[in-house]
Amino acid sequence: MAILDHPERTPSKPARASAAGENRPGVMNISEPHARSAADCVAALYARPEGLDSAEAGRRLAEFGPNRLPEPSPRGPMRRFFAQFHNVLIYVLLGAAFVTGILQHWVDTGVILAVVVANAMIGFLQEGKAEAAMAAIRDMLAPHAAVLRDGTRTTVEGAALVPGDIVLLEAGDKVPADIRLIEARGLAAQEAILSGESVPVDKSEAPVAADAALGDRRSMLWSGTLVTQGSARGLVVATGRATEIGRIGGMLADVERLTTPLVDQMDRFARWLSFLILLVAGLLLVYGYFVGHHAFGEIFMAVVGVAVAAIPEGLPAVMTITLAIGVQAMAKRNAIVRRLPAIEAIGSVSVVCTDKTGTLTRNEMVVVAAWTPEGEFVVDGEGYAPEGRISPQGDLSRLARAAMQCNDAGLSLKGGQWHVEGDPMEGALIAFARKVAGGVAETVRRLDAVPFDSRHRFMAVLTEGAAGRNVLVKGAPERVVRMCREADVHGWHLRAEALAR
């Protein structure tokens, strides 16, 4: 990346789902839209460039359903509470409480039941918090979308989108459904949730090969991804469960449920403990009655007392409290643990498998170095927080001005965390500029702009402020250096290569 600072637009009945595998809610009769022209896709969905009319949109919504991701069957409070008792050791404790109750040992019965109920309450409350957090982040679709209805632009709920709608998108918008592009101007999208790649993908309306991989389908925008730059007009080709992210959600619903190591060990321990307690109690009963010649009622009461005493009533409570403490520690690090036993399973992980880029990350970018004619500068700091030290001392004001003003992204503080709206790289440039300027942004007015395009590989803006009018440019180093009248082209190429290593 190089930065230059230089002063101075009546559907018929919709097609039905085909027999070729498209028979899913939220999808109409269209296959491989990425490989077909935009006009063919519009015709296949009986849509129009000026959008559906309200009546047709309502009919399609009733037929194909709302544009929402599938949700798992909710567990009610009672079901979640009684699930806390589904443990072999808890069954043993309840059995012990039943026996002591029959024997009218009410103190022992009360203590055992109190331990069991306290254990269940801790797990119930902790999992309730996790369920609420999961519900808050489950909605991956955009809450609103700008569409063409009855020939005019209007904003609708994301759930009201239907196949055949014409959607208008701009930088910073979340894509509300799977969309076939009709028009694209300097468009790029962040598809990390699908591909794991942190770099935005350039998009265009041109068809691609039918067998192109998901990440190479440049003529498509996918539900849940983010438009980082440019503007677009597109045709909704799939909604809800029929989208790519909906398909992934359906696959996750079919994943086999596995027990955690701790739960498995506790189940085996409880079975062996129950067997040993019953075995020892039986041997004591036989010995006391046939060898010791004690009265049966007397020896039976003694054996029951020994058996109840051998049961570790506090073990489930101690285990639950320990797991709850671990869950709270993870929550402070912004990690949601839905089931208490899962916290122990995390500690059993010895190998983590990722893709080639290792993008099990926060999908953030940060400026770590800057190179100017005055020399190289090292930039400290983490994420998008505009806080960090730059060394050595030097004048980077012009570089910071270009980084801040030749930029379409936004940086904001939400819930104590800095977030970027737009391209992650541009967000990193804003954070860098604020580090240089001490967090103070210069007030300027943008008069004109040349959006970044992969063909010319630069962005330029004309601004007006207290220092007058300025033309600011950023782009690929080899492109920006050629714009300079006095520059050591070969030397700058070597510097760029050295920074890229």
Q: Which residues are catalytic?
A: 355
DSSP code per residue over 303-341: HHHHHHHHS-THHHHHHHHHHHHHHHHHHHTT---SSTT
CA distance 204 to 133: 37
H runs (alpha helix) in 337-413: 342-347, 397-405
- The whole-angstrom separation of Cα 36 and Cα 33 is 5
Are residues 316 and 90 in contact, defined by beta-carbon separation less than 8 angstroms? yes
Phi and psi angles of residue 232, each rounded to the nearest 5 degrees, phi first: -155, 160
User: Closest Cα partner for 145 from 201, 205, 221?
Assistant: 221
Q: Which of 383, 381, 406 is nearest to 391 (CA)?
A: 381
Q: How far, CA to CA in Å, does 365 sit from each of 110, 359, 438, 477, 480?
A: 58, 12, 20, 19, 22
The three-class DSSP label of residue 144 is strand
Measured CA distances, 415 to 332, 362, 386, 412 (Å): 13, 16, 16, 10
Distance CA 382, CA 18 (A): 50
State how far the Cα of 125 lies from the Cα of 81, in Å rounded to an integer. 9
Buried b (16+ CB within 10 A) or exposed e, 202-217: bbbbebbeeebeeeeb
Distance, in Å, from the CA atom of 279 to the CA atom of 349, rounded to the nearest integer, reads 37
> What span, in angstroms and rounded, lies between the C-alpha atoms of 401 and 6?
11
List of long-range contacts for 53-58, beta carbons under 8 Å, 24+ apart: 53/10, 53/11, 53/149, 53/150, 54/149, 54/150, 56/10, 56/11, 56/14, 56/164, 57/149, 57/160, 57/162, 57/165
d(CA 51, CA 235): 9
Cis amide bond preceding 392, omega within 30: yes
* CB atoms near residue 473 (< 10 Å): 20
| Length reported for the chain | 501
The backbone region for 104, taken as left when phi is positive above 0, alpha when psi lies in -120 to 50, beta otherwise, is left
> Residue 412: in which H helix or E strand, if any?
strand 410-414
